[in-house]
Structure formats: C-alpha cells, structure tokens
Chain A
Amino acid sequence: MRVITKLLSLLFISCLTLTIVSAQTTSFRARLSEVPVTPQTYKTITGVGEVFVTLNGSTASVTGTFEGMSSAASAVHIHNAPKAMNGPPIGALEATSLPAGSISGELELTAEQVEALRNEELYIVIHTENNPGGELRGWLFARD
C-alpha cells in the first residue's frame, strides 16, 4: 500500500515538473549579494544588485543593476552550480566598470543550460578590481 502511494506521489511530482516546464517560464530574477564573508572581510566585500533574465527560445537576454561595491566591476559571468554551491562560468556579460552601474548581455544557452536555469542552477557573479574572485553573487529564480 505504502509503495503504491509512493509511486503515485512520484508520478504526481513528475507531472508537476512537466507542467512547470511546459508552462515555459521565460522570466527569471536574481538578487545579488556578497560572496561569503567573515568578520575580517565583510567591510571590503560589499554591495547589492538585481539581475533579470528573459528567455526567448534558447536566447537569454540579461539586464541588471548593482551598487555599493568596494571597487569597480571588472567582469560579470554566469556560472553553473546548484544553489549555494560553486561551479564553473558558462558565459560573460557586459557591466559598467564602476562600483555602481548596470549589467547587460545576450547569451545563447545550450539545452542543458536552459534546463539548469529552470532548475535554479545558474548564478551571476560580479568580479571587481578589489575582489577578482567575485564580490556579488546571486542565483536566478523563476519570477512568478
């Protein structure tokens, strides 16, 4: 009996996933906040930002803003890893080379990357002059 319930609920969950995918969410958002900080580093890793992604087929159009960073943005990348984990970059975006400014760009995503986006497994990193390893970061979530 228990097994059957489990099977049913599994089926149900996979149906749900299917519906979500077929609903074809096209709009995503990330809040950008500081990469991991300690009492020793939190005053030199600062700022906040917001990024929006619109998916048109496999083309991701990205816009965003940021402010309050310790130094000028030097690069912005999209990375691939599950929430809170660290993963490799899969693409680059344009950004104002100032501590506050905007982000823009267009990326062609592979089918796998589109899947990753929908699974909340893509995140944005802003690298800065003072923090070349990254200063702000945020995962992309579907906007409802």
Chain B
Amino acid sequence: MNNLSIRSFTKFFLAPAIIAAFLSSCSDESTDGAVGTDTGPNTYTVAQADAGAEAFAANCATCHGNDLSGSPLGPMLAGADFMSRWGTQTAGALIANVKTNMPPGGNENLTDTDYQNIVAHILASNGMIKGATELTGSSNIIIAAYVTEQAPAPAQRRRSQFEAAGTSGLVIPGTVENFVPVTDAFLRDPDAADWPMIRRDYYAHSYSPLDQINTENVADLKLEWVWSMKSGSSEPAPLVYNGVIYLINPNNIIQALDAKSGELIWEHHSGPINQRNMRNIAIYNDKIIQATTDSRLVALDARTGEKVWETVVADASKGFSFSSGPIIADGKIIQGQGGCARYIPENCYLTAHDANTGARLWQFNPIAQVEDPGGDTWGGLDDIYRAGGETWITGSYDPDLNLTYWGTAQQKPWSTVSRHLTIEDVGLYTNSTVALDVETGEMKWHFQHVPAEALDIDEVFERVLVNRGDKKLVLSIGKHGILWKNDRVTGEFLGFKETVFQNVFTNIDPDTGLVTYRDDIINAQLDQWIPACPSSTGGKDWHSMTYHEPSGTIIAPLSQTCLENAAREVALEPGSGGMASSRRFFEMPGSDGNMGKLGAYNVDTLEEVWSFEQRASYHTGTVSTGGNLVFAGDLDRYFRAHDVTNGEVLWETRLGTSVQGHPIVFAVDGKQYIGVTAALGGSSPRTVPRVIAPEIKHPDNGNALYVFSLPN
C-alpha cells in the first residue's frame, strides 16, 4: 500500500523533475558547450555519492549494514519502509536529521560535507537519479520525486528480496481447534494455565500462580521444544491461551503454535519488513490485535490467522512507529505511540479503539499544547516544537477504577539546551505516570516523576498495580533506577527507593518526591560532555519487573552503567527535531563491573530484600510463580531460576544466543511449562553492554522460543 502511494507520487513529480533536468542541460550547453557531462537535476553527483559510500562504510555500516539492509543494531535505510518514512521529506531535512542524530555515539570527526555525501549515498542506493550538482544541506527537493524504480544498487536488490518474502498476509493457513472466545471477565481473572497478555494480567504482575514447578524440583527442568524465529530486532512477549502460543516475530509476523508440541498452526505477515522490533500483541474475543511497526492496528482471526480489519493509527511518513502493542480494557484497544521526536504539527496520541472494528474512540495527547492546562510548562515553544512524550511501553489497567496507567517518555530532543528550553520548563505531561479514564480518555491524575529530563533517562516503563490491605498502589522504575510508589486512586506520592547508584539528582524530597538536579546538568551547554549514572540503558529499561504477591516483593531486572552525554544543536524549524545527543558509556563506579542486577524490594517498606549481581546484563523481564521462583535471562545466554525469597540460583541453562524478551509460564493438560525467547537487537540496552563488556560473546543470530518442563 505504501509502496503504491509512493509510486504514484513519483510519477506525479517526475515530470517536472525531468523538465528541470532538460532545462538545466540546455543551459549548460549554451554556456560552455560541455555536452553530456554534469547534466541532470539538482540531486547529487556520482563522485559525491562515492565519497559518501566510503564515509558510510566507516561510520554507519556497523549498525545499518554495508548495503543499507539494516541489522539488529539499526534499521534498514533502503526500500519501502525507508521511503515511507522519508519519501515525502526534503533531502535537506534528511541531512539535518542524520547530522543531529547519527551516529548515536558521536560525530566529532564528521563534517557537514561528510554528512551531505553520506546522504547522497543513501539516496543513490535508494534509486534517486544522479544530477548535475552536489547535494547540500539546503536542498529542498522532495526525495520521492527523484527516485526511479530501475536503480541497480545492492540495497535495491536486497530490498526486493526482502519485499518478495514480505507482506503477503496469511502465508501459512491453519485452524486452532476448539477456540473459546476471550471475554472481559476472563482477562480480569485469567485461568492459571494461561498467559493471555503482556505481563499476564491487567495489574502487570508478570506472575503465574502455577506451582507444579517449584523450589524443590526446578533443578530437574528440561528442554521440551525449540522454535526458531524470524531474524531481526526482537523483544517478544508471547501470549498463551488455551494451549496455543501466539508469537510475535520481527517484521510484523505472527505465528500460532501448539503450546504442547511446538507445532505451527498458522502464520500471518502484516508487514512491513524492516528489522524493527514489536514487543507484544493482544487477544480479545476471537481476535489477535496486532500493532505494526508502521503504526497500524491489524485484527486477525485468532482461529485462522485471517485478517479481519486494519486501521492506520498514525502516519509513518512523519516518523511515527509502534514498538509495543496494546492492552485491551473493557472492550477497547488502548495503544501507545512511539517515534514522536520530529518537529511536525501532528500529535503523538495514545489512542483507544473499538476492539471489534478498530474505530477510534478517543485520543490522549501527552504533550500539553499552548492552550491546554499545563501548556505553560514548555517555555513558550510553539506546539510544533513540543516533541516527545511517547507511550512506547504498554500500560496497565484497574478494572474496578476503570483507569488505565501509562508511563510517558521524556521531552525530545534529549537535552534541555537542544530543545531550546531550560530545566524550569518541565514539559507536562512527559516522564509522568498518567491515569486515564478508559471510557473517555480523560486524565484523572498525573505525577511527573522527572521533570525536564535532560539525559535520555526516561520514566516510561510498566506501571505495576499492587493492593496492600485497602491501599491501592502503583509502582514503577524508570531509567534513573528509582522505584516510585504512588497512590493509584489519587496519584499521591508515597515513597521512593534508589535501586542502583544515581548521581543525576542531589536530592529527592522524601515527602513530595521532587527531584533536584546537579548544577552542571542544569547548566549543560551544547557539545559539553555531562557524566551521569545510570546511563540511557537505565537502571531499568523495557524489561518488565515482576510482583510476587505471596511475599509482597517486586523483583526487578536492573542494569548498572553510566554515560557521558553531549547535546547537539537542533534547528528550531519544522521537520527538524530528533534525539540530538552524542553519548559514550562506562562501568558504574562501585558495581565492580557487574552490569546485571536482580533486585528484590518489599512493597510496604521499599527495602531491598536481596540482590543478585553479575557481569552480564539482564535482557528479559523477570517473572515469578506460585512455586516461589523468579526467572530471568541474560546477555551471556544464561536463563536461570532463582529462589524468590533470597535470590539463590536453583537452576540454569544456556541458550543459543542472548536471552531476551518476556518469559511466559503456562500449563497444557495439567502440565506446567516455562517459555523464554533468545533474541537480538535493541537500542541502548544492547549498545551499552556491547561496548562496555565486549568479552561477552553471543551469536548474532538465533532468535528462538524455548519451552521447558519437568520430565514426566
């Protein structure tokens, strides 16, 4: 679909382009008579693209691939997906964006000319026709207008290979027998055998009551079956319902597998093929609800894998993308939005949709606009320059209060000075917990954990809902590694605990939770390196934490690294924006090189009950069980069971590559299983260990689902 629209767009614009080329060749001839050289439209020159190819190989290829086809470390920069994101933009805007954001580590040695050359190379590889003059930063040609279809570049070949294998709907048909529709009542109180949503329940406990596998017998756990998954960036949260696993693969591919045997039932490709990651899908009634990486919602028949409906939520050509899927609350699909760093008029809505039709019911804008309450917290910036606030991690839900709880990401660009603001411009409602009425989308309360965030240390992760006596709590840990406790009826701050070393704040008020920044963070200038702990990998990141209700503890997968951040300059003009920081990373002082930490916290006192530290970072969420076990997997391919009361390792195994994703616990025919994915890809949580602990080696392929059980 995207492809088609770009093609017609191309035709429409190509005519004037060719006329322009023709005119310019005429004028060339009349001035010095040099026929056949240096003629063509105002795009780029071959020499420039060649120089750019070299610079690209040296500075970009490690993540984006030599032929632009992408890798788990960075997306593909060629083909339909890239064109859908950049085709309607000017070449100048792409140059500015790349200069502002890439490479993520820093760009001290790259000149403006290098960037122009590199972008010339990218555009040439995407089939843009060569021209008479060099591409410059002020180029206002619309990219798609000069892209023809006959370009022979290697990326082009790869692109057609990918796309041929691509978006073809129900690729393998099949039928789930004896399917029973999923009701609201079921989602409220799932059968112990099932894991029917990300983190298993509405409260986001990542806890299974199953206790067949327990501290006594877990040492006997054996591999039952393995299923290899599609390659690409992957942080999956599989679902289990009624003996069937619904598995989200990279490239927007969903498979239904028999949970007992590992047999494939059906496979559906919704596209696009772009190496980007999607964490989770949802199940409701007789449908699988899928969010795609290009911001569509697709409903599949859970029985047959056939598409039932599809709706576009946001325009991927504006940079919008989904990396997490929805939660279904009271018959509504509640979906967060990612990719909101560009300066564009469109808003970054969290949306609610009718689960039967996809029709939009309401939308919530996490960014207060000039006219809104809280609109005066953005330093007087025009609405178009208020960016960020992504809701890129699936929220949780309290059916009794009919409120859904979401974390919002920080303002963009990452540093205050890059966004032309100060630390006083707190930017509501970013880096907050927001409690939204599921019926109307109205915000009941918000609590801004970290105002005016300045170092890419956001507070967006899952909100865990906990009941203690008559207290209704919401707990969360953001990248600062601070465990926050709030009343979830009112939002009132109830306490905090630092789970890893942090030096961003000199003080956190124990009564209000108000943070005080270090002076040099407040005063940071462009290109000035500011050290901070934790790093953008976070004390905690997307890997969700578990709440083990029987012991009243939260067990969180934590990470101990630090960064130095240098803000890059961002032009305050439409189409600009981005992340705009250079970063470099180092071990957290006092961690003794242990990046990985499992920390257990009593939810009443917030005291640390136990911790387990190791060199390798954790890359799965933690899950706990009625058998008093906690499971977690790491970069070094270990997947372990710990005793929930003291952290002691009771069982371990080693998988094909890094263990990454969200483990699942389920039962079929009365027998309990544990599932976990090995997976690759991701941003800071992968980049940082890769440069800090390069001695930890794992294969760079091997996405797979592993299922374990006790011998009969």
Which residues of A are in contact with B by a Cβ distance under 8 Å?
Answer: 2, 31, 33-43, 48, 82-86, 120, 123, 137-139, 141
Contact = CB atoms under 8 A, between A and B. Distances in A.
Contacts of B140: none
Contacts of A137: 586
Contacts of B564: 36
Contacts of A35: 586
Interface of B: 59, 62-63, 103-106, 501, 503, 511, 531-533, 562-564, 582-590, 592-593, 687, 690-692, 694
Contacts of A43: 694
A83 B586 contact: no
A36 B563 contact: yes
Nearest to A38: B105
Nearest to B105: A38
Given A34-B586, A42-B690, 19 more contacts: A31-B592, A33-B692, A36-B564, A37-B584, A37-B691, A38-B583, A38-B584, A38-B585, A39-B105, A39-B690, A40-B106, A41-B105, A43-B694, A84-B562, A120-B589, A120-B590, A137-B586, A139-B589, A141-B590
Contacts of A84: 501, 503, 531-533, 562, 586, 588-589
Contacts, number: 77
Contacts of A82: 503
17 contacts: A33-B586, A35-B586, A36-B564, A38-B106, A38-B691, A39-B62, A39-B63, A39-B104, A39-B687, A40-B105, A41-B105, A48-B593, A83-B501, A84-B531, A84-B589, A85-B503, A123-B589
A74 B690 CA distance: 27
Nearest to B520: A85
A34 B531 contact: no
A66 B338 CA distance: 44
A39 B691 contact: yes
A34 B59 CA distance: 22
A39 B60 CA distance: 10
Contacts of A42: 690-692, 694
A42 B689 CA distance: 11
A138 B589 contact: yes
A86 B589 CA distance: 12
A60 B586 CA distance: 27
Contacts of B687: 39
Nearest to B510: A6
A86 B531 CA distance: 8
A7 to B, nearest CB: 14
A111 to B, nearest CB: 23
A83 B589 contact: yes
A31 B693 CA distance: 14
B593 A31 contact: yes
Given A39-B687, A84-B532, A85-B531, A33 B585 contact: no
B586 A36 contact: yes
Given A39-B104, A82-B503, A83-B503, A33 B587 contact: yes
Contact of B59 (A40, A41, A138): A40
Contact of B593 (A33, A40, A123, A139): A33
A36 B584 contact: yes
A41 B593 contact: no
Contacts of A2: 511
B589 A36 contact: no
Given A84-B531, A85-B503, A41 B590 contact: no
Given A36-B563, A41-B105, A42-B694, A83 B590 contact: yes
Given A42-B694, A84-B533, A86-B531, A34 B587 contact: yes
Contacts of A86: 531
Contacts of B63: 39
Contacts of B533: 83-84
Nearest to A46: B694
Given A37-B691, A39-B687, A139 B590 contact: yes
B519 to A, nearest CB: 12
Residue with the highest number of chain B CB atoms closer than 10 Å, among A40, A42, A138, A141:
A40
B55 to A, nearest CB: 13
Contact of B584 (A31, A41, A120, A138): A41
A88 to B, nearest CB: 15
Most buried by A among B103, B104, B590, B690: B590
Contacts of B584: 36-38, 41
Given A31-B592, A82-B503, A84-B532, A40 B585 contact: no
Contacts of A40: 59, 103, 105-106
B114 to A, nearest CB: 14
Nearest to B594: A31
Contact of B103 (A36, A39, A48, A141): A39
Given A83-B503, A84-B503, A37 B589 contact: no
Contacts of B590: 83, 120, 139, 141
Contacts of B59: 40
3 cross-chain pairs, A with B, having the tightest CB-CB distances, nearest first: A38-B105, A36-B584, A42-B691
Nearest to B106: A38
A95 to B, nearest CB: 20
A38 to B, nearest CB: 3
Nearest to A42: B691
Contacts of A34: 586-587, 692
A120 B532 CA distance: 16
Nearest to A68: B695
A43 B592 CA distance: 21
A100 to B, nearest CB: 15
Of A33, A34, A38, A120, most buried by chain B (CB within 10 Å of CB) is A38
A48 B562 CA distance: 17
A37 B692 contact: yes
A48 B296 CA distance: 48
Residue of A2, A35, A83, A123 contacting most chain B CB atoms (<10 Å): A83
Nearest to B592: A31
